[in-house]
Homo-oligomer: A and B are copies of this chain.
Amino acid sequence: MNISEAARRSGLSTKTIRYYEDIDLIAPAQRGDNGYRRYDTAAVEELHFLARAREVGFDLKECRQLLGLLRDSHRQSRHARDLVLEKSAQLGRRIQQLRAMQSVLETLAQRCHGDEGPECAILEDLAGASEPVK
């Protein structure tokens, strides 16, 4: 199949597939007589694997590791598990960060009248001291 069909089946865009080939994340696709890339189901499965891994938060460097494991019949499942657990922890930390930011925003919004006047607790607070000058 051609690249657009592979894209449809894998959940990646054609641009992204070419990009992944470009950065050697995947092997160069086979080519037809016309120079078009050709994909078999094995190739599409790899692309789909990448799409899924990206969806759950792995970056391309980590995807590379995961692909390495996927292809390695002598792998240890422990390695995959470690990657997943670390990524989950990372997401947890990021979520905490975003929550903290959100709670600051909520507090700011509460303290602001939000009317037609220029007096605004939000702007005052953002302008004011967050940490004292050390």
Check A56–B101 contact: CB distance below 8 A: yes
Q: How far is the CA of A71 from the CA of B56 in the complex (A)?
A: 42
Q: Give the interface segment out of A12-20, A23-31, A32-40, A113-121.
A: A113-121
Quick check: B91 and A98 within 8 Å, CB to CB? Answer: yes
The tally of residues in A whose CB lies under 8 Å from a CB in B reads 59
Copies of this chain, complex-wide, total: 2
Q: Is A126 a contact partner of B53 (Cβ separation < 8 A)?
A: yes
Let me know if B88 and A102 touch, CB within 8 A.
Answer: yes
A124 to chain B, nearest CB (A): 9
Contact B126 A57 (CB under 8 A): no
A interface list, Cβ under 8 A from B: 9, 11, 45, 48-49, 51-53, 55-57, 66, 69-70, 72-78, 80-82, 84-85, 87-88, 91-92, 94-95, 98-99, 101-102, 104-106, 108-109, 112-123, 126-127, 129-131, 133
Q: Which 9 residue pairs across A and B have the least CB separation, nearest first?
A: A81-B114, A77-B120, A88-B105, A91-B102, A80-B122, A52-B126, A57-B101, A84-B109, A49-B127
